């Protein structure tokens, strides 16, 4: 199997970072495999940053059972045609505990279909290529268990996470650090936001963590995007530690 479709229509940065170790393990074990990522078109810059500019991305038009974006029903025929032209050997549901993602994988026209088997769902074909969704595992290990289930040996540091950082970004960080008196090893960053409210750790617990970090002599930086300002402002009010919001 050399042409693999990875159904991952997620829009959260954390989702992509958590699946990165599994992709890295797959690439190291099978550098001959050509992976096509099935996700929304606006995710291309992030996917290319994490996996290289040569990654193949097939824009996903949405699906009624996938909540991230409204479905573009008019684009579904074009999407399936483009998938058929790629002649996938294997389509993997790497979305999560949702049967709608399995329907997307099955619609790609691949010779074999596998990936996560959601809770209470049973595959109609290729049962051996499906992994019962590991509900109790950390998100990183869910994806690592999936590639392991497919026969990929995991390296000792399989769960190591990271993201490529560009030189211009390092320079910008250095400027911010100088401006706000942040020294390497002398501060901690709290990011209380998440793409879904159900995934957010309670703000009062972040505040207690911030106070504990400040008690160890660390400056506390509160981070977030523009839409998360009410959340970050609340955390800054709750914690007694000095903080910055960027």
Residue 243 has pLDDT above 90, yes or no: no
Catalogue all structural domains in the chain, each as residue range(s) with its CATH number: 3-149 (3.40.50.2000), 167-238 (3.40.50.2000)
Q: What SS3 state is found at 200? A: coil
Residue 88 has pLDDT above 70, yes or no: yes
Share of the chain above pLDDT 70, in %: 98
39: which 2 tokens? 């996700």
Residue 59 has pLDDT above 80, yes or no: yes
Q: How many Å apart are CA 208 and CA 28, to the nearest integer?
A: 40
Q: How many Å apart are CA 70 and CA 175, to the nearest integer?
A: 40
Range 42-48 average pLDDT: 94
Residue 12 pLDDT level (bands cut at 50, 70, 90): confident
Nearest C-alpha neighbor of 15 from the set 143, 103, 117: 143
Residue 226: is it exposed, middle or buried by C-beta count within 10 angstroms (0-12/13-18/19+)? exposed
Q: What is the CA radius of gyration of the chain?
A: 20
218: which 2 tokens? 């660390």
Q: In DSSP terms, which residues pair with 56 in a beta bridge?
A: 36
1: which 2 tokens? 């199997």
Range 1-23 average pLDDT: 93
Residue 246 has pLDDT above 70, yes or no: no
Find the range with the poorest average confidence among 6-10, 145-149, 210-214, 228-232: 228-232
Residue 28 has pLDDT above 60, yes or no: yes
Range 64-77 average pLDDT: 93
Range 9-21 average pLDDT: 91
Given this model, what pLDDT does residue 63 score?
Answer: 95
Residue 245 pLDDT level (bands cut at 50, 70, 90): low
pLDDT tens-digit readout, 223-235: 888 888 899 999 9
128: which 2 tokens? 């051996």
pTM of structure: 0.83
Given this model, what pLDDT does residue 54 score?
Answer: 78
Q: How many Å apart are CA 231 and CA 163, to the nearest integer?
A: 25
Residue 176 has pLDDT above 80, yes or no: yes
CA 105 from centroid of its chain's CA atoms: 18
Name, of 135-149, 162-176, 187-201, the range with top average pLDDT: 135-149
136: which 2 tokens? 């109790």
Q: How many Å apart are CA 169 and CA 50, to the nearest integer?
A: 15
Average pLDDT over the chain, rounded to an integer:
93
């Amino acid at each position: 199997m050399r042409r693999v479709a990875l159904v991952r229509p997620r829009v959260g940065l954390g989702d992509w970072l958590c699946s990165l170790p599994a992709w890295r393990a797959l690439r190291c074990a099978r550098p001959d495999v050509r992976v096509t990522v099935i996700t929304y078109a606006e995710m291309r810059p992030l996917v290319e940053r994490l996996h290289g500019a040569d990654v193949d991305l097939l824009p996903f038009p949405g699906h009624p059972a996938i909540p991230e974006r409204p479905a573009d029903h008019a684009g579904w025929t074009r999407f399936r045609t483009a998938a058929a032209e790629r002649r996938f050997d294997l389509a993997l549901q790497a979305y999560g505990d949702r049967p709608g993602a399995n329907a997307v994988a099955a619609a790609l026209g691949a010779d074999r279909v596998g990936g996560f088997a959601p809770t209470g769902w049973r595959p109609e074909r290729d049962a051996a290529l499906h992994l019962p969704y590991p509900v109790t595992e950390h998100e990183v290990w869910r994806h690592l268990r999936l590639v392991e289930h497919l026969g990929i040996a995991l390296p000792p540091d399989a769960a190591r996470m990271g993201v490529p950082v560009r030189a211009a970004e390092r320079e910008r960080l250095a400027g911010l650090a100088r401006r706000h008196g942040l020294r390497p090893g002398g501060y901690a960053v709290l990011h209380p936001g998440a793409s879904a409210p159900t995934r957010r750790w309670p703000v009062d617990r972040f505040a207690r963590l911030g106070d504990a970090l400040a008690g160890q002599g660390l400056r506390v930086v509160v981070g977030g995007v523009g839409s998360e300002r009410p959340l970050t402002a609340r955390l800054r009010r709750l914690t007694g530690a000095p903080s910055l919001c960027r």
